[in-house]
Structure 1
């Protein structure tokens, strides 16, 4: 029988968890829930955190002026009236097809301003095409299927956009639409434009094709926009299917187009010296981005309170996107950069969880955590959650993009562990990738986080993230032109060795005997204690700490320490020296000292402060940083010496 454990959606395990926004707070040992794959759940190499190219430069600022946004359009004149006319007639059909909210949202399109263009550019500087996520200095985030569904109203369930159901009746309707498209093109002496299409069908005498024509315009302008405001004939069959109430998964295709354009934008802003022949290697090259990037702007406004304008109140019957209609806020580019870099405490991981007037969160946001048993007839709303939470390949028009929600689990209320590697499906057909997106749920039960639960990260994730930030601050990145190419190659190899070393240290802990593990300290009421079977621990469930009432009584059998001799800062000279020597040895790579640390903790843990564990992590990272700097300095000296010899030879 095939082992499907690697295809499970989530896992539950006891972990030492740290609040990501407040890493100075004490860790908590509790039951945590993670989206898979994580480094601990599948024994493959970790995707970890790629090093981004630094594209912020005067050259990239100039090149950004050559970017146009045909996919970012305001509401067309006469469109809102047409929606109001057809909504009473076809509203039920739109709901059946899952597009009712998306059509209403099209009447509230935020206009693109100079500030919004600069805002998007600053976000693109943080974009990582390898993971389809934003790599901020304080954490990783991205626009997900949840955002596409809530802000855009697009369904994530249904049939593939590239293979709509066809019948003789539908093919006949498509032929009629093609003939009208051709006639409009001849009358106007150009391709059928959106304005001419609306003028021909809105309020016309022939109502037989009005609904289909309406949906064609909606798809062409607000869902899959192209260049030059032209009606796209390849959308006719999709519109006809939607007009029959057939559910089509527009959400994955829309998100795929957004991911693709963000990647193109990032590549376009690269310095010309970093690009090969034929890769946008001209100062006069223009980049056209046709995806609905307005959703990225709204996504950012929802999550960065310091950068968003004052939102509108949502009127009864309106969609969430109405909050951002005709609002704006000017922020200088440098201030945008600073705000993005300092948003650690302000970033809203779950902006849709709080209730708003006239906007009712769906099943995604329940008051209390839930466990749902997976059955063959699982609820469609639960199936929707699975699509938002599960890694997959997004199939769009002319693109396939990887979807990696396990990297941003906190956006869904899940705890975050080191993300595992996910294989690409580029070599497979669209149908194959789509079947993988549509694969059955393998989990026996699903966990749904509480609406206001504040997720944390594992200690291991925090360590790797800090190491990643040290690498960036030390100049190890593809965009740092100050170092020679061979030095950068060596530095990259050192980075991989560092990651391997951290993984080895993790395995060292796993290989300890039970008695040794029991001596590794745990946190109880902000103090370090050896972890014993009967020790009470603080468990954090549904966002609440539930301390055991018996914790204080556990010290009754411990050796009494006079209150005046209590050392809350942990500066017992003898013990401090012993701990520092041991941890310094461990950070230098002597694995046997791990046992010494466990013994010291078991012997003196009740007297030593709870900064012990953090001290080890800080020393390890500091040692890694110093070692890497020494290697880079050595390579630079060699390079300088080589250049001096060559110069002497020329003389």
Structure 2
């Protein structure tokens, strides 16, 4: 047990006190509203089903564009409550999640491995000062009409227009026509899964010129562009006034499932599990594909609410976090998932058209199995750049020239410290972090009644003793199942009962519970 000095508990701090060093923006963070007792509803997550049918004639074009992995992952149901709980832990100051176990974040490695997106390539940037009606006509082969763009917008294409015009590619279509349909599919794919806006029914046309030449599209660093968009959404969502969360919601959810027990689903019974590591090496699916068949969640529905997730995050410890989830799976994945691993630790800025975000892999060195030193003083996370909003009529290549040059120098900006992670030296980092940040998020509503809490622990201890005394295996399995159900019910009204490092039935399959 690491002995940390004075961990900060969000909810025990007087709001007039000075916030910890890493939480200087706490007063305008949605988590602050939680500790003040204000009910914060979960964010509305914006992620769409790719509603254009797949046609195998698109395959080569989508592969060449570097987005086949995203197509392979498929549609996965969004857990808005889990996303909201993670947003409460995100810090604009560091671009990391602040957790009881330290700082963690979504990295370029995660984007490459989970979605199969290229890291090494041109920054995802271009011009938005184009005649978008002409672009649509030229690249999609359709004349623009009043139903093409959203009202008062010259760039937001309605998804209904795409569906009405590109649902079925003609059987006798020539190559030019198939390419137009493939571009429409790619536009729907990136607009529905990677760069979802808050409108709910439109996709920006700014991505369409990227697909004019499919081979050139494959030369972009889609991974860095997606990560920039995610960071911007996370930073914006910490504003308590924000109601929606867009962008690569799927990426954030898969990242959480790979590393944490809360909300992690289980497979349906009699469901055939897709095999990784089979088929053509170049076109194998990325790791995120393994989650598409997980359609059911273990435990009661009340386990998947924001309050419950908040408690589970408070209860995280080293034994519940999978720090290196990919190391035994990389050989099963396509080469694109492991290309240029040194760039996973570059400190070059992340760029997506109007978005520029700081990337701080040194703050999460443990995620790369490297020595986690106490990070230097807070750097600039470009708060001024957060004020830049998207809009047509900009040449972002000129606007972000300095940052684009920094991305060009990405190989020279990689971290060089190759010392391996050493858990025996991790205490120093945790002592620093516990005093510099807020480790536990607790609302006044979550503070337990001491008498009830003590009685609940006594009841749980009695049930554990009774289960231990049972010798018949079938009866014991039923008793343990009952124990975990009681434990979940108790967690809804008091602090989580500490008994072991087991993540509980909200995350564990019933078959595993029965075996223990």
TM-score over 0.5 for the alignment?
yes
Q: Deviations over 1:452-505 (max 9, x none)?
A: x7x22574x633532542576899x9x99xxxxxxxxxxxxxxxxxxxxxxxxx
Q: How far, CA to CA, are the matches of 1:435 and 1:171 in structure 2?
A: 31
In structure 1, the residue matched to 2:252 is: 296
**1:546-601 deviation digits (Å, cap 9, x = unpaired):** xxxxxxxxxxxxxxxxxxxxxxxxxxxxxxxxxxxxxxxxxxxxxxxxxxxxxxxx
When residues 444 and 301 of structure 1 are mapped into structure 2, their CA distance, relative to the original with a 3 A threshold, is closer
Alignment equivalent of 1:155, drawn from 111, 115, 118: 118
Equivalent positions of 1:95-114 (< 5 A) are 95-105=63-73, 108-112=74-78
Q: Quote the residue 1:255 is aligned against.
A: 227
The secondary structure found in structure 2 opposite 1:158 is coil
1:68 alignment partner in structure 2: 44
Q: CA shift at 1:148, angstroms?
A: 1.3
**Measured at CA, do residues 259 and 189 of structure 1 come closer, stay the same or move farther in structure 2, by a change above 3 Å?**
closer
- CA 1:100 to 1:164, structure 2 compared with 1: closer, same or farther past 3 Å? farther
Number of the residue aligned with 2:295: 327
What secondary structure is seen at the aligned counterpart in 2 of 1:198? helix
What is the CA distance between 1:409 and its match in structure 2?
A: 0.6
Q: How far apart are the structure 1 equivalents of 2:149 and 2:222?
A: 32
Equivalence for 1:211:
182
Paired residues for 1:598-609 under 5 Å = none
What are the equivalent positions in structure 2 for 1:464-483 lying under 5 Å apart? 465-469=430-434
> Which residue of structure 2 aligns with residue 176 of structure 1?
138
**1:313 maps to which residue?**
273
How far apart, in 1, do the equivalents of 2:71 and 2:165 lie?
A: 20
1:176 deviation in Å? 1.9
Q: TM-score, normalised by structure 2?
A: 0.63
Residue of structure 1 in register with 2:503 after alignment: none
Question: What SS does structure 2 have at the residue aligned with 1:121?
Answer: helix
Aligned with 1:135: secondary structure? Answer: strand
SS in 2 for 1:155: coil
Distance 1:224 1:363, change over 3 A: closer
User: Contact 2:324/2:367 (CA < 8 Å) preserved in 1?
Assistant: yes
In 1, Cα distance between equivalents of 2:67 and 2:141:
27
Conserved 8 A contact 2:22-2:436: no
For structure 2, the 5+ residue unaligned runs are 4-19, 279-283, 386-398, 445-516
| Separation in structure 2 between the aligned mates of residue 251 and residue 58 of structure 1, nearest angstrom | 35
Q: Partners of 1:364 and 1:207 in 2: how far apart?
A: 28
Question: Which of 178, 193, 196 is residue 161 of structure 2 equivalent to?
Answer: 196
- Deviation, structure 1 residue 335: 3.6
TM-score, with structure 1 as normaliser:
0.51
Q: Which has the larger radius of gyration?
A: 1
Q: Is the Cα contact below 8 Å between 1:416 and 1:458 reproduced in 2?
A: no
Superposed, 1:348-497 pairs within 5 Å as 348-355=322-329, 359-360=332-333, 381-382=339-340, 385-421=341-377, 423-424=379-380, 426=382, 429-439=399-409, 441-442=411-412, 455-456=421-422, 459=425, 462-463=427-428, 465-469=430-434
The alpha-carbon deviation at position 406 of structure 1 amounts to 0.4
Q: Note closer, same or farther for the CA distance 1:64–1:239 as it changes in structure 2 (3 Å cut).
A: farther
For residues 115-168 of structure 1, what are the alpha-carbon distances to aligned partners after superposition, in whole Å with 9 as ceiling and x for unaligned?
x222122212211111011111121111111111111222222222223899xx
Counterpart Cα distance in 2 of 1:209 and 1:95? 15
Distance 1:104 1:60, change over 3 A: farther
CA–CA distance in 2 between the matches of 1:473 and 1:187?
A: 45
User: 2:487: which partner in 1?
Assistant: none
Q: Which residue of 2 aligns with 1:236?
A: 208
User: How far 1:437 sits from its partner (Å)?
Assistant: 2.3
**How far off its partner does 1:50 sit?**
4.0
How far, CA to CA, are the matches of 1:436 and 1:159 in structure 2?
12
Whether contact under 8 Å (1:221, 1:229) holds in the other structure is no
Q: Is the 8 A contact 1:211 1:243 kept in 2?
A: no
CA apart distance, 1:407: 0.5
Name structure 1 gaps, 5 residues minimum. Answer: 1-21, 25-46, 269-279, 281-285, 366-380, 481-651
CA contact (8 A) 2:62 2:182 kept: no
Q: Tell me which residue corresponds to 2:311.
A: 338
Counterpart pick for 2:90 among 118, 127, 137: 127
Q: In the aligned structure 2, how far is the partner of 1:94 from the partner of 1:470? A: 48
Counterpart Cα distance in 2 of 1:433 and 1:187: 31
Query: SS of the counterpart of 1:134?
Result: strand
State the Cα RMSD in Å. Answer: 4.2
The superposition leaves residues 278-335 of structure 1 with CA deviations (integer Å, 9 ceiling, x where unpaired) of: xx4xxxxx63332122211111111013541125833344432222225242425444
Equivalences for 1:545-624 in 2 at 5 Å? none
Q: Contact (CA 8 Å) 1:141, 1:408: kept in 2 or not?
A: yes
Preserved contact between residue 184 and residue 192 of structure 1 (Cα < 8 Å): no
Give distance in 1, aligned partners of 2:69 and 2:134: 29
Cα distance in 2 for partners of 1:101, 1:430 equals 29
Deviation at 1:337, TM superposition (A): 2.6
Q: Cα deviation per residue 1:590-624 (whole Å; 9 max; x = unaligned)?
A: xxxxxxxxxxxxxxxxxxxxxxxxxxxxxxxxxxx
Q: Which structure is richer in relative contact order (CA contacts within 8 A, separation 6 or more)?
A: 2
Matched residue SS, 2:97? strand
1:169-216 per-residue CA deviation (whole Å, 9 max, x = no partner) reads x99865524772623726999974224313412314544522222222
Distance (Å, rounded) in 2 between the aligned partners of 1:290 and 1:153: 20
